[in-house]
Amino acid sequence: MSTGPLLHRRRRALGMAAGGAVLGLCVAVPAASADALDDGQWWRSAMGVDELHRSGAGKGITVALIDGPIDSSVPELKGRVASSRTECLAAGGGKQPATVKGEAADHATRMASLLVGSGRGTASGGRGISGIAPEATLRHYAVTYPAPSNPTKLSCGLTDPSLNEASEATARAIGQAVRDGARVISISLTTDYDDAYVEALLGAYRAGAIVVASTNNETRQVFWPGIGNGVVTVTHVDAAGNLDTSAMRRSSFVDFAAPGTRIAAGQWTPSGWRSDVLSDGSSQATAITAGGLAAVWSAHPGATGNQVLQALRDQIGMRAEDGKHLTWFRRVGDNLPKATGKTESYGFGIADPADAVKVDVESLPDTNPMVVDKGVVIPTAQQITAATQGSTGSTPSSSRGTSAQASPSASAAGSSTSPEAAGPSQSSGATSHDGGSALPWLLGAVAVLALVAVLVLVLRRRPSEATTALPGRTPDRADSHRADSHRDDFHARTAATDGVAATTKEHSNGSDL
């Protein structure tokens, strides 16, 4: 388990409806209106959520939300949270409460509302946040709390309330969610590495569950659990389909993008819960993606989780323009290709569950398209295969959770001069590089063994500072969202298809060695 100084919370809420202030925004799309709630639900029409719900809205699918404490009494969530639990210890003895009111419950309550919100709330006319999978069964697991000695930091003590063991707590929650029947696990937080993550992920894959996790905001690194092999890792875009200014860029760890800018997700205020508060970050995009997967799965109950992921990967949002296929929220145009690779900024592309639900999901390959079999990845593809095929092999440990294999192809974001070890602490994650080639197959065996030895040492060391975050930035500066500018190389908007091989990299959760 990882221990260290107490953890820092990063959050942002962007604005309120009439009577509130819009903070730090210069946004051209969507157009301003007097109704912040409607503005903040732009993603529903962009993604065709009503159309999706005509096929499936999550019924029969259990979704696990791993986050902080929750307020299940807000209008959006009344009667919608099947269970809520935590293993985090309280300073005064016993366990922390899994359900609370007030600011501490903000983040989890937002994510739950985006997942299963009823549409009832505190905005005018009793309106509130409508979830993307409102008929799903939601189970909640609290793994982060304001630290006893510093409420601005996050922590979870499993053996001592003064310790930060949030990484292990998150891994334990994954395992408990699987035992509770979760088929989709949504994790809108980031932590350092812990050995427990390996078996937790293997257990989830063994049970056929899908694990969805967020990237970090305002950083070029991806942390756990999003860095785990087989995990669906999500970044966020605005209403124009552009990456948010805080979104991850040019990282091989990103699998999908989803709406995450100016999203109506609610917030606790001194006067109580407000449904019409807008916020943005990868957290929102992660919940929307996880809920979209649950909705697709509910329409195809005979499919496996792997097949549902195959459908989402194949049917990314895409529109034809000037002979090119550009990333978009829906598939717009004739004879659109399937996704065959990843771009450096959007992963496979913007998740499009409303089109994914239309395909014959049960006929797709029963393999997880997020799993890679090369590079430095944890768990390894071999471990995942052994777990999902019922192997009785030895339990993976930190010293066996890497794969140092030579590969002749390039990673999406790394280069041979900067290998990305999917291991512990702040060194985990993808760094920003403009492509680059992998080391050749002629790399000597001695060098490979030396690298393995170094990685084992890295994996075994404990981080000097544990870092857990609920992704989201505070609105302390003006954002530069511009509808008329991609803010990225144009090719970053190009869909990951055969026609754009020059701008597409192979999916690689880690460096290719």
513 residues of the chain, pLDDT tens digit each: 443 333 333 334 444 333 332 222 222 233 334 589 999 999 999 999 999 999 999 999 999 999 999 999 999 999 999 999 999 999 989 999 999 999 999 999 999 999 999 999 999 999 999 999 999 999 999 999 998 888 888 999 999 999 999 999 999 999 999 999 999 999 999 999 999 999 999 999 999 999 999 998 866 788 999 999 999 999 999 999 999 988 988 788 999 999 999 999 999 999 999 999 999 999 999 999 999 999 999 999 999 999 999 999 999 999 998 888 899 999 999 889 988 788 878 999 999 999 999 999 999 999 999 999 988 799 999 999 999 986 433 333 332 233 322 222 222 333 222 223 333 333 332 222 223 333 333 333 333 334 333 333 333 323 333 456 655 433 322 232 222 223 333 345 677 654 332 222 223 223 222
C-beta of residue 16 within 8 angstroms of C-beta of residue 274: yes
> Is residue 166 domain-resident?
yes
Q: How many domains does the chain have?
A: 1
> Is residue 179 domain-resident?
yes
Give the separation between CA 132 and CA 130, rounded to whole angstroms.
7
Q: Specify the pTM.
A: 0.77
Q: Which helix (H) or strand (E) is 35 found in, with range?
A: none
> Is residue 390 domain-resident?
no
> Is residue 200 domain-resident?
yes
For the record, the structure tokens of 308 come out as 């549902």
C-beta of residue 99 within 8 angstroms of C-beta of residue 69: yes
CATH code of 362's domain: 3.40.50.200
For the record, the structure tokens of 105 come out as 């419950």
C-beta of residue 483 within 8 angstroms of C-beta of residue 29: yes
In this predicted model, what pLDDT tens digit does every residue of 334-356 receive, in sequence order? 889 988 788 878 999 999 999 99
> Is residue 38 domain-resident?
yes
HEC readout, 79-100: CCEEEEEECCECCCCCECCCEC
3-state DSSP percent of the chain in helix, strand and coil, to 5? 25, 20, 55
Angle (deg, nearest 10), helices 282-299 and 305-314: 110
Print the domain residue range for 14: 7-370+468-505
3-state secondary structure of 325: strand
Q: Chain centroid to CA 321: how far?
A: 29
> Is residue 269 domain-resident?
yes
Give the separation between CA 16 and CA 419, rounded to whole angstroms.
43
Give the separation between CA 229 and CA 347, rounded to whole angstroms.
14
C-beta of residue 468 within 8 angstroms of C-beta of residue 154: yes
Give the separation between CA 228 and CA 226, rounded to whole angstroms.
5
E-assigned strand segments in 157-250: 184-187, 210-214, 232-237
Give the separation between CA 75 and CA 118, rounded to whole angstroms.
8
Parallel/antiparallel/unpaired status of strands 318-321 and 7-8: unpaired
> Is residue 457 domain-resident?
no
> Is residue 475 domain-resident?
yes
Give the number of other CB atoms < 10 A from CB of residue 23.
17
By the 10 Å C-beta count (0-12 exposed, 13-18 middle, 19+ buried), 123 is classed as buried
The DSSP code for 220 is: S
